[in-house]
Amino acid sequence: MSDELKSLRFEVKRIKEEGGLAGAFELDAAPLVAQEAPGARPAGPVRLEAEFSLGGNRILLQAKLAGAWTLVCSRCLAEHRLGYACAIDETYPLTAEVVDIADDVRQAMLLEIPPRSLCRPDCKGLCPRCGQNLNAAPCGCKAEEPLPPEALKKLTIEKEINHAEP
């Protein structure tokens, strides 16, 4: 177990003795997510502010997590950085010996990866003909003219006729 993951283990005895526990940590994100984030990788450390409090027969964790991912743009394939900040609210049994929050931190981080990401809102993407990144420079390709509506109707009719025949 890496030192980063060990630092996310807290003794319940200490939390009880102190009537709670609070701390701020800067963590290397790589050991937390290892190979679980295809298409994304941590962009620097993760900042974690955690506070444990006692309540009945439970320990409550309230934490804030902030970091960044390096992602690939869905349109132009350029790498870009996307920051995130999220909260973690979790409870643990007071009867446990150790509270290990590594899995909760890992899950929160992974949930911050968007299913689709753009390097910028107005990303122009790649030219479908030559592959030029249109954000960097225009390409020399001529725009194809769209099919006229009559040609589309003909394609639809031919498809229907071909599917109707056995």
- Taking the C-alpha atoms of residue 79 and residue 93, their distance in angstroms, rounded to an integer, is 42
- Give residue 39's pLDDT band: very low, low, confident or very high (50, 70, 90): confident
Which span out of 34-48, 53-67, 128-142 was modeled with the highest average pLDDT?
53-67
- Give residue 165's pLDDT band: very low, low, confident or very high (50, 70, 90): low
Half-sphere exposure of 157 (CA within 13 A, CB side): 6
Which residues does 81 contact at the CB level (< 8 Å), separation at least 6? 43, 68, 69, 70, 71
- Taking the C-alpha atoms of residue 29 and residue 46, their distance in angstroms, rounded to an integer, is 6
- Taking the C-alpha atoms of residue 141 and residue 6, their distance in angstroms, rounded to an integer, is 55
Query: How much is the pTM?
Result: 0.75
- pLDDT of 156 > 70? The answer is no
pLDDT digits (tens, 9 = 90+) for 59-69: 999 999 999 99
Give the three-class secondary structure for 59: strand
Which residues does 146 contact at the CB level (< 8 Å), separation at least 6? none
**Contact (Cβ atoms closer than 8 angstroms) between residue 85 and residue 64:** yes
Burial class (CB in 10 A: 0-12, 13-18, 19+), 127: middle
